[in-house]
Every structure is written in C-alpha cells, then in structure tokens.
Structure 1
C-alpha cells in the first residue's frame, strides 16, 4: 500500500483551496499512491464571518472529492470540512473517505474539541461552534484497516487504542491544522507515540503556514511506522510525500514485541 500525505496552506478562498488540494492529489496519483490524506479544514481556513455555509456530506466539498477520487482512481481521505450539524449554531468537523470509484466509504466526526481558558492569555472554545462526534470509525481500504481521527484527537490515546484493539486498525490517519507553538514541541512526539503504543502506521497531513486571522500552522506532515520511525516528512510549505507501507514489518513488530497482545487493561 502506497500512502501520500498532502500538506496545504488553505486560506479564505474555497475555490483556490480545492484547486490546490486537487493538484496535490493529481501529483500523489502520478507517484503511485493508493491512498492520499489531506489536512483538516481542507476547503477553508480563515475568518469565521467569511466561512461558506455548512453543508451535508454530498454538498460541494463531498461531491468535489468524490469526483477527484473517481477520476484519479485512488482512495482519498478528504481532510475535514464543516458538515451541517445538529443545530444551526454548531457544525460537525467531519472527515470523508472516498474509494477508487468515488463512493463514500466512511465519515468520521471529530470527537475531541479544543476548549481552553487561560486568563489574560487565550480564550478559545471550539465547542461553541462545533458539535462533538460520538463514534470511533475504522474503514477497510482494500484489506488495510484504517482508523480515522482529526487534529486535537491526537492528544487522547484512548481513542487510538480503541481504533487498534476494537477496530483492528493497522494505519491511523490524522488530518490536522496543528498550531505552530504546540506543533514544534508536541506534533512529532505524539505521532510517534501513537504509532509505537498501538503498533500501527500513522499518516498525518497538516496545514502549514499563516492563515487569517493570526493563525500559523506547523505543517511537517509525515508518515511513521509501527516502530516509531519517521519514514517520510514534508518540508515547510505546501507539498506531499508518498511512502510504501510494509505490512509484513507491522506483523513482525507485533509478533516480536507483543504489547497489544500482552495488555491487561
């Protein structure tokens, strides 16, 4: 299985963002990728008052990536977008997975939301505008079990343990828009930890660079193997890498260091 992680600098122009994402997917397919992963909020990352209206999974964003997946003949994890949610005030942050024929294979709604209040420094409540999802999701990609997550989920190891143990995940994907100040200290460490403790490959695709208003994302999209080794990483700026996943190595690691089998809790 050849996997691409695509790194984007989405702004407040949805048409331009979708065109840039399509270009990365074309390059991924040309490089032989079977599966390509795009970042969180792939279609829009800008001021809230200019955000396109939330829409269903078969809206503009879903239809666009279904068409691209079908035309290129690859699996696409379409990062995430604002799905019309349970009430007018809150959307879902939703990741869609399309197969080679452009059919919707899975949808995952981000479970963990970033709420922080530090007096005099920062006040941010993602839950004010985004409703949490409730269900972990694993999708079968031509025999490869792929566990879905989004950005802030990365800090909650119990989600990934469920994906690996209950869902049989072998690859964990992380579309993200990780902030610069936390990304430079935590991004790689957390990705490698999730890979090691769950003995899974991890493919993480991040937003990169500046986004209005006053937001800078870390980037450094990467693929990590079940031993915690970084197999490939995207340099700063938009781009992609394509990496072969050696599933025999995954099986060897799980057999020779059977920590999943040895767990007691």
Structure 2
C-alpha cells in the first residue's frame, strides 16, 4: 500500500452541455496527471446540471457516456479517478440514482455507490424541495480497498448523517469522499463544520470536491476542501473553477488515531437505540 500520495480536487461549474462539461473534466485530468496526482476527484453531478443541450443525453447507465470517458482517462494516465456523481439510469424505474464511481488505474470501475440520503426539505419560503421525487436512494454502505488505502463513499447531503461515516470508518476507510453541490447559503453556514466533524470523529481524511457557479435553481458554494484526520483544513478553494492539490499521508492518519483513539473507545455494549415514534 502506498502511504503518501498527491491528490487533485477538481472544482467545476457544471452547466447544461454534457459534452462541454466532460471536455473540461478531461482537460483537468490531464493537467492533474501531469502534475503528479495519483487520485483525481470530482464534485457531485459533475457531468450535467439542467436539460442537456449537447450530445450524451440526460440520465445514463454505468458504464456509459460519462463514466466511459473517465475510465479511458484513468487507463491513459494510470491513475485513480473518483467520479463525483452522475445521474444514473435505472432500467424499469422512473426515478434515477445519484451515483458515484471509483475507477482504478487500469480503467476498471472498482466501486459504485448510490447516494443513501435524499434532500427532502421545505424551503424558507414554504416551497417543498423533494429530491426523492426524482432520485431513488441507494441501500448500501460502500468502501473500496485500493493501493492508496481504503476509501469510503458518500455524496453531498450524506454528510449530515454521522452514522454513515462511522460505519465507513469501522469498515476500514481512512479517506472519505464527499463530493458536494452545496448552496451558497447552507455552504457558508455548515459545510466546513460538517466536513471537519466527519474527519475528526473518525480519524479520516475528507476529500470534498465541489460545484461552484450559478445553477438553474441555486448558486453553488464552491470551497472544495481537503481536511486531515485532526480536522485541519489543508486545502480550500474559493469560487473559481480549476484543480486544487493536496497530499494524503496514511502514517499521519495512523498517528492521529493513536493520539485520539475514539474508534477504539466506542461503547457498543450500550449503543442500543430505541427510536421514538412520532
């Protein structure tokens, strides 16, 4: 296992031309690979936001139009690519899945994760926003063992559910993917504290590649971040698009867990929870 390596987070302003979005993504992969990155990470809905005006359609199978491009680039450069997420077509299902893939240096998909938690809220003006009307939630906690360590998979709104990340850490994850497309309002108030909490409580690195820019329904916050297991923000973007670099050091992660052994100190004998019914 490689103990120390360079990563790249790609901050995107994804819009409604899938082909243009993927061309930009591939150019950033080339740049990151040339800079020595061994892992390139993308944000949530990296390939399309809005109704597609170019080739490639809307929702798609996996492997498919978008993941196929990422798989080719991973094999071309011999690197790992975390594909943020795309909208996955599910045969026989009206709803799609918000799905993330991890691709290995040989171009094969190593892991596939479907977002567990759908963003169903009532907005400040009283209007409902129900992601579950169009996105079917997944049903599996997903980790991936690789030469770069064990990765834990999640997407955006998942970050508000700490039990998911504890399960990922228990399953061996040392690096947590949290591709996001936070709104400017919630991002300013919550994103950093949530990401740092998930890092600290689990002794893990957190990689959060983000969307930025004005979308059809909201303005994305940007601020892609790499956070270490002690909760230190190692890398933070602003609102600009581009590639942002950082380093994963698994020896540092081990040292943090020895210093703060919260995973070992869990009281599983008393964690039986009986939830209140409404």
Q: TM-score, normalised by structure 2?
A: 0.90
Q: Secondary structure at the match of 2:163?
A: helix
Q: Is the 8 A contact 1:108 1:133 kept in 2?
A: yes
| 1:230 and 2:233 correspond | yes
User: 2 CA distance for matches of 1:196 and 1:126?
Assistant: 29
Q: 1:88 deviation in Å?
A: 3.6
User: 1 CA distance for matches of 2:196 and 2:224?
Assistant: 12
Q: 1:145 deviation in Å?
A: 0.4
| 1:176 and 2:186 correspond | no
1:80 is matched with which residue: 85, 91, 109?
85
Tell me which residue corresponds to 1:245. Answer: 248
Q: Is the 8 A contact 1:85 1:131 kept in 2?
A: no
Q: Secondary structure at the match of 1:192?
A: helix
Tell me which residue corresponds to 2:257. Answer: 254
1:27 is matched with which residue: 19, 27, 31?
31
Q: 1:46 deviation in Å?
A: 1.7
Q: 1:243 deviation in Å?
A: 1.1
User: 2 CA distance for matches of 1:118 and 1:58?
Assistant: 35
Write out per-residue CA displacement over residues 202-250 of structure 1, whole angstroms, 9 at most, x where no aligned residue: 0000100111x23210010010000000011122210121111121111
Task: Give the superposed CA RMSD.
Answer: 1.7
Q: Secondary structure at the match of 2:179?
A: strand
Q: Is the 8 A contact 2:226 2:236 kept in 1?
A: yes
Number of matched residues? 263
Tell me which residue corresponds to 1:209. Answer: 213
User: 1 CA distance for matches of 2:74 and 2:32?
Assistant: 11
Tell me which residue corresponds to 1:103. Answer: 108
State the 4+ residue runs in structure 1 displaced beyond 4 angstroms. Answer: 47-51
Q: Secondary structure at the match of 2:96?
A: strand
> Do the aligned partners of residues 245 and 119 (structure 1) sit closer, same or farther apart at CA in structure 2, a change above 3 Å counting?
closer
Q: 1:22 deviation in Å?
A: 1.0
Write out per-residue CA displacement over residues 124-153 of structure 1, whole angstroms, 9 at most, x where no aligned residue: 110000100000110112050000000000
Q: Secondary structure at the match of 1:67?
A: helix
> Do the aligned partners of residues 194 and 249 (structure 1) sit closer, same or farther apart at CA in structure 2, a change above 3 Å counting?
same
Higher strand proportion: 1
Instruction: Provide structure 1 residue ranges, at least 5 long, that are not aligned to the other structure.
Output: none
Write out per-residue CA displacement over residues 37-82 of structure 1, whole angstroms, 9 at most, x where no aligned residue: 1011111012489993322112101211100111121100011111
**What are the equivalent positions in structure 2 for 1:69-218 lying under 5 Å apart?**
69-85=74-90, 87-118=92-123, 120-165=125-170, 167-211=171-215, 213-218=216-221
